[in-house]
Amino acid sequence: MFFITIDYFEDLLKKPSLFKNESKLDINFIPEKLIHREKELVLLSQLFLVLITNPNALSRKILIIGKTGIGKTAAIKLFGEMITNAAEKRSVLIKYVHINCRKERTSYKVLIKIVRALNKNFPKRGYSPQDLLDIIVDSVNNQNLQLLIALDELGYLINKGGDLMYSLTRINDDSFNARQCISIIGIARDISCLSNLDVSTMSTLQRNIVKFKDYTKEQLYDILKYRAEISLKENVISNKLIKTISDLVYHSGDIRYGLNLLWKSSKIAESQDLKYITMECVRLGNHDIVPFSTLDVLKYMTLQKVIFLLAIIKALQKSGKIQISSSVITNSYLILCENLGIQPRSYSQLWNYLQDFKRENLITVEIKSEAIKGRKALVAVQEISLSKFEEIIINILQSKGIKI
Ligand SMILES: Nc1ncnc2c1ncn2[C@@H]1O[C@H](COP(=O)(O)OP(=O)(O)O)[C@@H](O)[C@H]1O
Ligand SMILES: [Mg+2]
């Protein structure tokens, strides 16, 4: 048996790869240049220049908005690195902390993350949010640095998120003549995502909005071409195919989809021992790609919600219809819960889940008025093939120890 395994690897290792550097197609890879985002980076630099020229004199609070997959995160991370480096050269200390609020959903988690960026070994429990705010202020003062906090995916900060933003934006205002040493960059899809923030925080942030526009088809082409150049060997993909991929991406505008398709197509070409990517590879790759935003959403979803989502998919598959009513879904859910031996959630909770799924673009919900029975919600899944969706969800559940 051992021999077979070893030969397998040897075979694969002998195969010429189409990649020069596969990791450069990864969606989390931050390229050293962001073409077509120069204007935004210049604007940000102008806004934050004062942190270097006149440290602690002014703090900035700005909001970046723009659709998913258009380089907001990449641009801000790159910007964080640029400003830290430029400051360091002039002996000014700026600490950049990037926080994904979809991952750190509560104010407490966000604050802990900031504290830990300042003091590595800080214990995770036992402090109130106010303690944590105090610790942040103390650390920043003791270490004599300016803090630049990026709160990415701000729309996902739940419940008391408003409080947190309020406190963070007010830290400097407490004492007269205080050092202005905490700046904030909020990032969100659009302003309506931020309805959980309090009014005064909103108005603070809204004063400085930097809008990231969608990429045009031509820009998508340039970006994908660049990413292909740094990750694939020469002549592996033709300009024409890159154009095809950018056209496919243009529909959602999410570059991550394009990067994934590029990677998938390359893998398919490799598996077929081709020396370059063909249209058929792209077609095959495009067939079963799930949008990255969906995978992201699923990654951080609670178990109860994942199970409810699976119930929706199962009900849709079983009915063979495009849309199904919420009562059919509820039945499917109750059966699934029984099979899994878990306690079902309440109707109102399920209704909230539906709203979340809708907001996260996983489903569409159409409300139909019916004369006698009142209103009825019709649910559909549009973007993703149901079997693929089911497969992913079952994998997630299995990774969490649940057998379907
Ligand atoms: N102008 C660009 N040049 C090169 N890569 C880009 C550019 N814009 C976005 N990307 C890449 O596309 C992917 C998605 O960008 P990201 O910053 O995560 O989007 P957002 O935060 O707006 O959802 C990342 O891999 C990023 O590196
Ligand atoms: Mg992002």
CB of 253 sitting under 6 A from ligand 1: no
Q: Whose CA is nearest to atom 24 of ligand 1?
A: 27
Pairing of strands 209-211, 146-152: unpaired
Query: Are 215 and 259 contacting, i.e. CB atoms less than 8 angstroms apart?
Result: no
Instruction: Note whether 183 and 51 are within 8 A (CB).
Output: yes
**Does the CB atom of residue 37 touch ligand 1 within 6 A?**
yes
- Residue 68 alpha carbon to ligand 1 centre in Å: 9
Q: What's the gap between Cα 100 and its chain centre?
A: 8
Query: Does ligand 1 come within 6 angstroms of the Cβ of 98?
Result: no
**Ligand nearest, relative to CA of residue 41:** 1
Cα–Cα separations (whole angstroms), residue 61 to 47, 84, 178: 10, 17, 17
> How far apart are the CA of 13 and the centre of ligand 2, in A?
35
Tell me the C-alpha distance between 225 and 1, whole Å.
43
Ligand 1 within 6 A of CB of 74? yes
Centre of ligand 2 to C-alpha 70, Å, is 8
**Among the atoms of ligand 1, which is closest to the Cα of residue 226?**
4
Output the tens digit of pLDDT for each of the chain's 404 residues.
455 556 677 766 677 789 999 999 998 999 999 999 999 999 999 999 999 999 998 889 999 999 999 999 999 999 999 999 999 999 999 999 999 998 998 888 999 999 999 998 888 778 888 889 889 989 998 999 999 999 999 888 865 555 677 777 777 665 556 778 899 999 999 887 777 677 777 777 778 899 999 999 999 999 999 999 999 999 999 999 999 999 889 878 899 999 999 999 999 999 899 999 998 888 888 876 777 677 778 888 999 999 999 999 999 989 988 889 999 999 999 999 999 999 999 999 999 999 989 888 788 888 887 666 667 889 988 667 788 889 889 988 998 888 87
379 alpha carbon – ligand 1 mean position (Å): 31
By alpha-carbon position, which residue is closest to atom 14 of ligand 1? 69
Q: Hey, how many other C-beta atoms are within 10 angstroms of the C-beta on 374?
A: 7
Fold category of 38-211 in CATH: Rossmann fold (3.40.50)
Residues near 32 by beta carbon (within 8 Å), at least 6 away in sequence:
78
Q: From the CA of 252, which ligand is nearest?
A: 1
- The tens digit of pLDDT for each residue in 150-169 reads 999 988 886 555 567 777 77
Residue recorded with tokens 């070409």: 269
Residue 70: CB within 6 Å of ligand 1? yes
Distances (CA, A) of 402 to 44, 147, 228, 343, 345: 46, 42, 39, 14, 17
Find all residues with CB under 8 Å of 285, minimum gap 6, and list them: 261, 264, 265, 267, 268
The whole-model pTM stands at 0.76
**Length of the chain as a residue count:** 404
Q: Which amino acid is at 112?
A: I
State the residue for tokens 């409080």. 163
Domain spanning 2-18+215-289 has what CATH number?
1.10.8.60
pLDDT, tens digit, 9 for 90 and up, residues 33-72: 999 999 999 999 999 999 999 999 888 999 999 999 999 9
Ligand 1 pocket check for 291: Cβ under 6 Å: no
Paired sense of beta strands 324-325 and 182-188, if any: unpaired
Distance spanning both ends of the chain, measured CA to CA: 31
So what's the pLDDT on residue 85? 97
Fold of 294-399: Arc Repressor Mutant, subunit A (1.10.10)
* Residue 24, ligand 1, Cβ within 6 A: no
Distance, in Å, from the CA atom of 364 to the CA atom of 67, rounded to the nearest integer, reads 18
Nearest CA to ligand 1 atom 20: 69
319: CB partners within 8 A, 6+ apart:
328
Could you tell me the residue ranges of all domains in the chain? 2-18+215-289, 38-211, 294-399
**DSSP secondary structure string, 78-99?**
HHHHHHHHHHHHTT--EEEEEE
242: its two tokens: 């890159």
Task: List strand residue ranges (DSSP E) for 153-223, in order.
Answer: 182-188, 209-211
Q: For residue 243, which amino acid is it? A: K
Give the closest ligand to the alpha carbon of residue 68: 1
CA of 258, closest atom in ligand 1: 12
C-alpha span between 341 and 343 (Å, rounded)? 7
CA of 25 to the centre of ligand 1 (A): 11
CA of 69 relative to ligand 2 center, distance in Å: 7
Average pLDDT, the chain: 87
Ligand 2 centroid – CA 38 distance (Å): 17
Interval between CA 34 and ligand 1 midpoint (Å) = 8
Take atom 8 of ligand 1 and give the residue whose Cα is closest: 71
Give per-residue pLDDT as tens, 342-356.
Answer: 999 999 999 999 998
Residue ranges of the alpha helices (H) in 31-71? 38-48, 50-53
Task: Report the alpha-carbon distance of residue 232 to residue 325 in Å, rounded.
Answer: 47
Query: If you measure from the C-alpha of residue 358 to the centroid of ligand 1, how many angstroms do you get, rounded to a whole number?
Result: 24
Q: From the CA of 292, how far away is ligand 2's center (Å)?
A: 11
Contact 200, 163 (CB under 8 A): no
379 lines ligand 1 (CB under 6 A): no
Whether ligand 1 lies within 6 angstroms of the CB of 103 is answered as no
| Residues 194/155, Cβ–Cβ less than 8 Å | yes
Ligand 1 proximity of 256 Cβ (cutoff 6 Å): yes
Does ligand 1 have an atom closer than 6 angstroms to the CB of 148? no
